[in-house]
Amino acid sequence: MINVAIDGPVGAGKSTVARECAKRLGIIYVDTGALYRSCALFCIKNNVEISAGNETAISALLNDKLDLSIKIEDGTQHVMVNGEDVSELIRTPEISMAASTVSALPSVRAFLLEMQRSIAAKESVIMDGRDIGTVILPNADIKIFITAKPEIRAKRRYDELVSKGVEVTLGEVLVDVNRRDYNDTHRKEAPLKQAPDAIMIDTSELSFEETVCGVVDLIRDLGKL
């Protein structure tokens, strides 16, 4: 069994890379960001204000009413909220910003911590997020930090949103990326940072295929797969 932790800022491509690498290696991919997005979506649907000052109400809602689970079908992760597959609903700019706020709350991180660790304890996984190698899986067999220039990340995110029919400008996405970078790196609880033993990969000048091949080769070499 092997656990691979992949961290990095928004739009670096870590999720799509991690998903494809897991597919090629025949192991499970776990998108932890989707869990925080799901918590944010649930709060919005239940008219609970998402702010640091409203943590008590958010925690109460999640603990009392949220039934959150991950279902793996053909190697693909589906996030279930009270029986509903919300995998597509959580990919909007509104949910992205709300998730950034929610993920900074200690009670929310505690709520999701054991779920994430229990999956990795039972299966070989590639898990990506902001603090996988530093907090969630500090003893992961392999740690990778994927990043890219903010402008590159914003363009990738913009293309992804437009392909899904979301009306947004590149400028708006860049502002969102910079804001989320600041929030993620300055939050008190598990801020985004490269683990000391993580290998950094800058994808600014790399194609998707080049990045995937590089990560797969790295995992195979270090993990002896």
pLDDT in tens, 67-124: 998 887 776 778 999 999 999 999 888 898 899 899 889 999 999 998 889 889 988 9
Q: Which of 155, 61, 154, 70 is nearest to 111 (CA)?
A: 61
- Cβ 152 vs Cβ 209: under 8 Å: no
Q: Which of 49-63, 68-82, 159-173 has the lowest mean pLDDT?
A: 68-82
Residue 225, pLDDT score: 61
pTM for the whole structure = 0.80
DSSP assignment of 45-87: HTT---SGGGHHHHHHHHHHH--EEEEEETTEEEEEETTEE-T
Q: Which CATH class is domain 3-219?
A: alpha beta
Q: Distance between CA 58 and CA 92 in Å, rounded?
A: 20
Give mean pLDDT, residues 32-39. 92
14 closest CA partner among 129, 103, 149? 129
pLDDT at 224 over 70: no
Closest residue by Cα to residue 18 from 104, 142, 117 = 142
Question: How much is the average pLDDT of 13-19?
Answer: 91
Instruction: Please state the rounded mean pLDDT for residues 196-202.
Output: 96
What is the identity of the amino acid at 187? Answer: R
Cβ(80)–Cβ(39) below 8 Å = no
Q: Which residue ranges make up each domain of the chain?
A: 3-219
First to last CA, the chain: 10
pLDDT at site 85: 95
- Distance from C-alpha of 20 to C-alpha of 26, rounded to nearest angstrom: 10
Q: What is the pLDDT of residue 95?
A: 92
Note the pLDDT of residue 153.
96
